[in-house]
Amino acid sequence: MNKNVQSLLFINKRNSEASWFVRLTNIHKQLPDLQSTILLAGLLFSTAITAIEQIHVTIGELENTHHPIDNIKGLSSRIDFIHNNQLAAAISTHSITLLPPYDGIQAVQLGCSALTTNETYIRCNSGNLTLTLSNDKQFSIPFQFQQTTHSENGQFRMTPIPFANKESQMRLRWQQKKWDFLTAINTLSLTPLSDLLHSAGISISDGFLTINAEAASPATNLLNANLRFSGTDISLQTHDASKAVEKLKIESHLQAGSTQATTQGNLDFYIHNGEIYLQPVYLSLNKASISGDTHFLLDNRNQNLKLTDFTLNHFPNFSLSGDLETTLEQKFPPNQGNIKVQIYNLANLFNHYIAPFLRTNSVKPTLSNTQGLILSELDFTNKQLDHLQLSTADVSATYTFNHQDISINNARISLNWRPDHCSEQSFVYWKTANFRGVPLPETVLRFKACGQQINFERNVTLPLLDGEMQFDHLDLKKLDNGNIDFSFATEINNISLAALSEAFDLPPLAGHLSASIPSVRLEKGGLQLDSSIQINVFGGTIEIEDLQIDGMLGSYPVLTANINFKKLDLGKLSKRFSFGNIEGKLNGRITGLRIENQNVVAFDAAFSTPEDRLLPYSISQKAVENIASLGGTNPADLLSRGVLKMFESFFYSRLGFRCKLRNNVCELEGIATAKNNGFYLIKGMLAPQINVIGYNHRVNWSELATRLKRITSQSSPVIN
Amino acid sequence: MKFRATLSTLALYALLAACVTINIYFPAAAAEKVADEIIEEIQNDESNNQQKVPDDKQLAPEDDPFSYNQHGVIESIAVALLNTLVSQAHAEEADLNADSAEVRKLKASMRARYNALKEFYANGSVGILNNGLIAVRNPGSIPLSIRNQVNQLVNTENSDRRKLYQAIATANGHPEWAQQIQQTFARRWIAKAQPGWWYKDGSGWKQK
């Protein structure tokens, strides 16, 4: 405050035209604070009270005063002597810089037009505090003030309160070291306060408050307070719009008592009507409410806070109750405590409080059709969750993400979790369930949960369609990097492919699938098989290697794999797909298969019948037509018009093709090269033989896939 | 004589080829074309998940730019070599590859999001910035019930856009082009905005 202080003392003496004034510049002495300046004015007044008609003190600039004042310019104190101890006094600033959140106030004027004083008291019957805001708007707050000069008794009263009902008032009384405070503010309009709170980052568009408060300090370090307030139609939001309420109705009651050591009391609140937005959580309370109450005990020295018998109720969704001991610095997890949770509407709880954090892209996971009660209990010790119990009774729910449903019906869950020892049994049971179209029949899965992992019991059999999956092990673990590792080994026995293909929206298949999958790993939303899957089909085998599905539960799953085809019986295969009859065995390999969001985008494929065949195979005219059309050639007209139309089938020695798919173009090759840059797709043998020669080396993949789909969709195949 | 003439021709071609300087600079026109294609693909209501189907004519073998049958063998190799060099040099100027797994994934993600975003473009809640990103124009005016949805749409869209610009640059072996690609997209997003949508230029928000 010692920087650039310039003060001007201006005195007009009664009955004199002369004026005295003193100019003090660059005072380097530390002026204590603003109060001292006011006292200085009072001192001057008292020494010359009988002879002076006006004292006007101006101080150029004060800096680094008490918080929240940062800077005062043009501080002016003026006292006018009227008559018979009647005075008028005013203190004003040209400008004042306050620290946030009060920095919306630009200037302050404190005046009293009727100041009475004598030897025993000083009284202001008509005071006025005027605040000028940074947008030049002004607030005027009338007040009355009285202070006895010897007994340290006094009273400060404000009435009416601006923007509130006329009967509203605020009163502060003190007598030596005791004081009491009373306020009764009725229907205070919050909208005009928006300008005052603008610099605090809050915009108020509507709302009314009614506040009734009493507080008293009967002795030093003792305080009793009783506050009731209610708000209606409260609409406000932070400037970044990340927190907002609209048309909110709130009622609250705080009763507290404080000593030097502790502060304790009771708090309750009830919020109903309106909307709350705390990014990203949105709550509509038009058909719901949030209420809570607690007894609290705060240790004023170490800031430890005990909440006893607290309840928090978000009707009609869930309620919490219990006891907690925490600190103001780190509220959660608490030092110790017990919380009981009752969830009445799991869908609302999930959709309001959890889903907003899970939303990705435009896809929002939702939980619906929930029924049943969920009870949970959490015990905390030493700032960590020590025990979690959860039990349900006949819960049903449907989880939807990316147009895929997972539903569970009449489920019972008993979960016992501890951070360190996996000794207590847990189980999940469902009467029926459905995983993305695959029905899962009645099942019980038993497991133990502890720390960051869930271990299901060994050798679990899970019925699936008309078959079953036998899990050697099934473990779920949270990794240090935050990802979930879900690994299992399974045997698939006799699962109906008809139902499976229908469930996964694949071309209709028939038959049954059996496979052994020694190791499956699900991590970061991706599935990876550490070993191959072998499927016996069409008299041969299909072996899937290096299968990996990334983003399996996301909106853009990517599948990569290598697939071997060994000795597939073309007779069975072609018969079931109505492709036309073909004899022979087909071998092949697809490497680098990449399917993005159900679109095949890349592979290197090579299929052919064995080379070492001495006797010819037969192939029907229809099959020839189909193969030829797949190769980009259409010999149908030739076959039907020419001499070849006399034969229903032909002989061939070998057939096959290679296709390298990139950028939606299949680069085609046959089993051998032919003249004129052609390639053999079918090489004939004996009579009637047929050669199918392709010339189009680059085929549009979409077109090829469409043709293939058109041909194969004519009937469903059977896998034996 | 014919052999010597051929050698001379080859030498001349070699000389010419030796004089070819390949300057790799940002292919602005190609970037604009790629931007237009991607924006149309994302914002086309009729688009589905099918990949863009190349014109069959482009795939026909006779359209292959090189035909070795029209020249002598050595001459053909020389021409082909020169063509290749010039073609490559030309390619550095005019081509921009926007087909990689990352780009495809981002396009699919943005296409799925566009269906939700276009409503907010149309009602002015969301506007197009002149830096290739989008923004909530007046966050406080968005109804509370959908505020998080709008914010998340904008945030994830911007995240995808940044990744897209980088992915295109990386797919072309020039990760340093990301900024220029973003600037190109910035112009094209605005140019392709529908009537009534809001965009921001140096002077503030404007409506198309």
Q: Is A597 on the interface with B (CB under 8 A)?
A: yes
Other C-beta atoms closer than 10 Å to the C-beta of A504 total 11
Single out the residue of A594, A612, A614, A611 nearest to residue A603, CA to CA: A594
Question: In this prediction, what percent of chain A has a pLDDT beyond 90?
Answer: 31
Single out the residue of A301, A300, A303, A305 nearest to residue A267, CA to CA: A305
Mapped to the 3 state alphabet, what secondary structure does A661-677 carry? EECCEEEEECCEEECCC
Residue A115 clears pLDDT 90, i.e. is over it:
no
Single out the residue of A364, A174, A510, A7 nearest to residue B150, CA to CA: A364
Tokens of A606: 């090579």
First-last CA distance in chain A: 95
Query: Among A107-116, B50-59, B78-87, whose mean pLDDT is lowest?
Result: B78-87
- B107 Cβ neighbours under 8 A, 6+ residues apart: B38, B41, B42, B164
Compute, in degrees rounded to 10, the torsion defined by CA atoms B189, B190, B195, B198.
110
Distance from CA of B59 to the nearest CA of A (A): 6
pLDDT digits 0-9 by tens, A1-15: 444 444 455 555 444
Which one of B50, B115, B148 has the shortest CB-CB distance to A282?
A: B148
Do A279 and B147 make contact, defined as CB atoms within 8 angstroms?
yes
A547's enclosing H/E stretch is strand A540-550
Distance from CA of B77 to the nearest CA of A (A): 19
CA distances from residue A223 to A214, A217, A256, A268, A290 in whole angstroms, order as listed: 11, 4, 8, 19, 30
Q: What pLDDT, on the 0 to 100 scale, is given for residue A368?
A: 81
Alpha carbon distance A157, A125 (integer Å): 10
Q: What pLDDT, on the 0 to 100 scale, is given for residue A184?
A: 96
Residue corresponding to tokens 């390999």: A589
Distance from CA of A32 to the nearest CA of B (A): 45
Do B147 and A664 make contact, defined as CB atoms within 8 angstroms?
no
Q: Is A344 helix (H, G, I), strand (E, B) or coil?
A: coil
Alpha carbon distance A553, A515 (integer Å): 23
Chain A CB contacts of B142 under 8 Å are 241
Helical ranges in A262-363 per DSSP H:
346-349, 355-358
Tell me, rounded to whole angstroms, the distance of Cα A534 from its chain centroid: 42
Q: Which residue is closest to A203 within chain B, CA to CA?
A: B140
Which one of A279, A361, A696 has the shortest CB-CB distance to B148?
A: A279
Single out the residue of A465, A469, A461, A590 nearest to residue A520, CA to CA: A469
Average pLDDT over residues A158-163: 88
pLDDT digits 0-9 by tens, A298-346: 999 999 999 999 999 999 999 999 999 999 888 888 999 999 999 998 8
Judged on CB neighbours under 10 Å (0-12, 13-18, 19+), A118 is exposed
Do B61 and A695 make contact, defined as CB atoms within 8 angstroms?
yes
What mean pLDDT, rounded, does chain A reach?
Answer: 82
CA distances from residue A61 to A3, A7, A10, A528, B76 in whole angstroms, order as listed: 8, 8, 17, 72, 90
CA distances from residue A197 to A161, A193, A646 in whole angstroms, order as listed: 17, 6, 95
pLDDT digits 0-9 by tens, A518-567: 777 777 667 888 777 877 778 888 888 988 988 876 778 899 999 999 99
Q: Which of A354, A556, A679 to mutate to test the interface with B (most CBs of B within 10 A)?
A: A556
Q: Which residue is closest to A238 within chain B, CA to CA?
A: B140
Chain A CB contacts of B149 under 8 Å are 359, 364
Do A702 and B142 make contact, defined as CB atoms within 8 angstroms?
no
- B204 Cβ neighbours under 8 A, 6+ residues apart: none
Q: Is B88 on the interface with A (CB under 8 A)?
A: no
Give the angle B59-B63-B67 at the CA atoms, nearest 5°: 130
Other C-beta atoms closer than 10 Å to the C-beta of A67 total 9
Q: Is A592 on the interface with B (CB under 8 A)?
A: no
Alpha carbon distance A172, A570 (integer Å): 99
Do A281 and B50 make contact, defined as CB atoms within 8 angstroms?
no
Chain A CB contacts of B109 under 8 Å are 361, 555-556
Chain A CB contacts of B116 under 8 Å are 362
Distance from CA of A712 to the nearest CA of B (A): 20
Q: Is A558 on the interface with B (CB under 8 A)?
A: yes
Which one of B99, B117, B144 has the shortest CB-CB distance to A282?
A: B144
Single out the residue of A58, A319, A65, A103 nearest to residue A197, CA to CA: A103
Q: Is B139 on the interface with A (CB under 8 A)?
A: yes
Chain B CB contacts of A287 under 8 Å are none
Predicted ipTM beyond 0.90: no
**DSSP assignments along B152-163, one per residue:** HHHHHHHHHHHH
Q: What pLDDT, on the 0 to 100 scale, is given for residue A693?
A: 83
Chain A CB contacts of B52 under 8 Å are 664
Length of chain B counted residue by residue: 208
Which one of A241, A244, A700 has the shortest CB-CB distance to B53?
A: A700
Tokens of A677: 């840059």
pLDDT digits 0-9 by tens, B104-122: 999 999 998 998 899 999 9
Do A275 and B145 make contact, defined as CB atoms within 8 angstroms?
yes
Question: In this prediction, what percent of chain A has a pLDDT beyond 70?
Answer: 84
Which one of B50, B51, B109 has the shortest CB-CB distance to A555?
A: B109
Alpha carbon distance A431, A449 (integer Å): 22
Q: Is B18 on the interface with A (CB under 8 A)?
A: no
Q: Is A120 on the interface with B (CB under 8 A)?
A: no
First-last CA distance in chain B: 69
Residue corresponding to tokens 């009270």: A49
Q: Which residue is closest to A663 within chain B, CA to CA?
A: B99
Do A280 and B148 make contact, defined as CB atoms within 8 angstroms?
yes
Other C-beta atoms closer than 10 Å to the C-beta of B177 total 22
Q: What pLDDT, on the 0 to 100 scale, is given for residue A363?
A: 60
Q: Is A698 on the interface with B (CB under 8 A)?
A: yes
Quickly state the pLDDT bin for B50 (edges 50, 70, 90).
Answer: very low
Q: Is A277 on the interface with B (CB under 8 A)?
A: yes
In contact, A112 and A77? CB cutoff 8 Å = no
Q: What pLDDT, on the 0 to 100 scale, is given for residue A494?
A: 80
In contact, A157 and A170? CB cutoff 8 Å = yes
In contact, A526 and A549? CB cutoff 8 Å = yes
Quickly state the pLDDT bin for A712 (edges 50, 70, 90).
Answer: low
Distance from CA of A553 to the nearest CA of B (A): 14
Which one of B60, B108, B151 has the shortest CB-CB distance to A279?
A: B151
Tokens of A689: 């033989």
Alpha carbon distance A633, A682 (integer Å): 13
Residue B92 clears pLDDT 70, i.e. is over it:
no
Which one of B51, B56, B136 has the shortest CB-CB distance to A599?
A: B51
Q: Is A284 on the interface with B (CB under 8 A)?
A: yes
Tokens of A79: 């006292």
Residue B97 clears pLDDT 70, i.e. is over it:
yes
- A408 Cβ neighbours under 8 A, 6+ residues apart: A395, A396, A397, A398, A430, A432, A433
Strands A678-684 and A672-674 come out as: antiparallel
Q: Which of A362, A558, A662 to mutate to test the interface with B (most CBs of B within 10 A)?
A: A362
Length of chain A counted residue by residue: 720
Query: Among A111-120, A460-469, A694-703, B84-93, whose mean pLDDT is lowest?
Result: B84-93
Residue B191 clears pLDDT 90, i.e. is over it:
yes
Which one of B52, B101, B144 has the shortest CB-CB distance to A244?
A: B144
Distance from CA of A277 to the nearest CA of B (A): 6
Average pLDDT over residues B189-208: 94
Average pLDDT over residues A66-95: 77
Give the angle A340-A344-A347 at the CA atoms, nearest 5°: 115
Strand partners of residue A480: none
Give the angle A100-A102-A103 at the CA atoms, nearest 5°: 70
Alpha carbon distance A325, A595 (integer Å): 54
pLDDT digits 0-9 by tens, A598-644: 888 999 999 999 886 677 788 888 887 777 666 555 555 455 555 55
Distance from CA of A362 to the nearest CA of B (A): 5
Compute, in degrees rounded to 10, the torsion defined by CA atoms A220, A102, A204, A241.
-110
Which one of B50, B112, B147 has the shortest CB-CB distance to A277?
A: B147
